[in-house]
Amino acid sequence: MEQCVELEASDLHLSAGLPATYRVHGKINQLGEHHYSADEVQGMADALLNDKHREHFARHLTLDMGYTTPKGFRYRVNLYREMGNCALAIRYLDGSLKTTRELGLPTQISYLTGLKSGLVLVCGATGSGKSTTLTAILNDINEAQEKHILTVEDPVEFVHANIRSIVHQRELYTDVPDFASAVKAALREDPDVIMVGEMRDLDTMRTAITAAETGHLVFSTLHTNDAVGVVERLIGSFPGNEQAVARQRIAHALKAVIAQNLVPTADGSGRVVAAEILMVTKAVANLIESAKSNQIYSVMESSARQGMQTLDQALARLVRARQITLESARALCRDPGSFERLIRGGAAK
């Protein structure tokens, strides 16, 4: 695990019958020639677990947890079963907390730290940097404002010190049984800002929306690849007879959606964020409430002044800034025709 830090690897994979592999800038590489036996992998897993973790893994056959080595390196460990054997996916968590500016995130994201209440969602595929973005947003708030920030995570990935804000961090299965009950409890603990690691189920969604409606600023994530898809995913999670009311609640509670991808840099030295940003203006809220979410994308294309941008616009800007290659952008763009027009036009609207 510590060797992967030296290699600047983001992830380490261990499974029976194979060499260890690690990921650097999105690419998988082999770490040495040794093929690990099932007993060796199980032994490494046992070294990381406490009794509570072992009990959870035995019952559910999967486990997410945080782990800190004696040298102070912190990791997110996912333990799972594969072909009857134990396997591990381990992600290194860079302990240095960065601001949104230091991460190179779009400047309009910093606006979200000034919101007093509402729901802000960060979405994207696994490994797209959602947790890193949320951590940077919370760090911005912590450095600039006097707030009570409460997080519920699975596991706690980045540890925040109290700077100007007070930060309390809770870990699933160690401090709380589930996201929904943790958020319900949080409402009685005087928070200004609540971060829910992931909205995995309807109960968590309901509770997060209620928190946003009652004067709290709530941040969370969803595994959805585009901003408009987040809106429909939220509404579609409610039973059919509740969706009309859910539309109204989401239209008023949701303030912004960030849908992000990590794209290899043109020089191969790392990856950069390409972010689709939806700001829920009055016009967007009306479209959500009237079940016209299919029209939101068109609003995004023409609403740069309101801080919005489509993924294709973000990619076009990165290409023109020579931060990513045209080939990488073409592989990710949503509408090839629109993207090519943006490139030919010389400026995203």
- Which pLDDT tens digit goes with each residue over 10-30? 999 999 999 999 999 889 999
Kindly state the average pLDDT of the residues 195-210: 96
Fold of 2-93: Beta-Lactamase (3.30.450)
**SS3 (DSSP) at 287:** helix
Q: Is 348:309 a contact under the CB 8 Å cutoff?
A: yes
Of all residues in the chain, the percent with pLDDT exceeding 90 is 84
Q: Which fold has domain 107-345?
A: Rossmann fold (3.40.50)
- Structure token pair of residue 39: 């007993």
| Whole-number Å distance between alpha carbons of 216 and 207 | 12
Q: Which sequence spans correspond to the domains of the chain? A: 2-93, 107-345
* CA-based R_g, the chain, Å: 21
CB 129 within 8 A of CB 273: yes
**Lowest mean pLDDT across 69-78, 82-91, 200-209:** 69-78
pLDDT tens across 257-283, in order? 999 999 999 999 989 999 999 999 999
Mean local confidence (pLDDT), 126-133: 91
pLDDT interval class at 247 (50, 70, 90): very high
Convert the pLDDT of each residue in 32-78 to its tens digit: 999 999 999 999 999 999 888 899 999 999 999 989 888 888 899 99
Give me the pLDDT at residue 349, please. 40
pLDDT of residue 95: 73
Main-chain dihedrals φ then ψ at residue 281, nearest 5 degrees? -80, 175
**Residue among 120, 145, 146, 142 at smallest CA distance from 254:** 120
Cβ contact 262:128 at 8 Å: yes
Structure token pair of residue 115: 């919101």
